[in-house]
Amino acid sequence: MSAPKTAGFSPRFPASNFGVVKLYNLDHVGIAVNDLDVAIADYFDRYGVEPNHRQVVVDQGVEEAMIPIGGSFVQLLGALSPHTPVGRFLERKGEGLHHIAYAVLDIDEALAHLAARGARLIDEFPRVGGSGARIAFVHPSDLAGTLIELVEHPDG
- Residues contributing to the site for Co ion (CB under 5 A): 30, 75, 101, 149
Min dist. Cβ of residue 91 to Co ion (A): 19
**How far is Cα 16 from Cα 144, in angstroms, rounded to an integer?**
24
Give whichever of 142 and 149 is closer to Co ion, judged by the CB atom. Answer: 149
CB contact at 8 A, 32 and 95:
yes
Closest to Co ion by CB, 118 or 132: 132
Q: Residue 21 or 129: which CB sits closer to Co ion?
A: 129
Q: Which residue is nearest to Co ion (CB)?
A: 30
Dihedral over Cα of 32, 24, 152, 147: its sign:
negative
What minimum distance in Å lies between the beta carbon of 144 and Co ion? 17
Task: Please state the closest distance from residue 6 (CB atom) to Co ion, in A.
Answer: 26
Instruction: Count each helix (H run) and each strand (E run) in the chain, helices first.
Output: 3, 8
β-strands 134-138, 127-128 pairing: antiparallel
Helix, strand, or coil (residue 40): helix
Q: Give whichever of 15 and 121 is closer to Co ion, judged by the CB atom.
A: 121
Q: Are 62 and 80 within 8 A, CB to CB?
A: yes
Nearer to Co ion, 15 or 88 (CB): 88
> Minimum CB separation from Co ion for residue 27, in Å?
8
Kindly provide the residue ranges of all beta strands, DSSP E only, lying in 34-111, ordered along the sequence: 53-57, 62-69, 72-79, 96-104
In degrees and rounded to multiples of 5, residue 39 shows phi and psi of -65, -40
State the nearest-atom distance from the C-beta of 99 to Co ion, in Å. 6
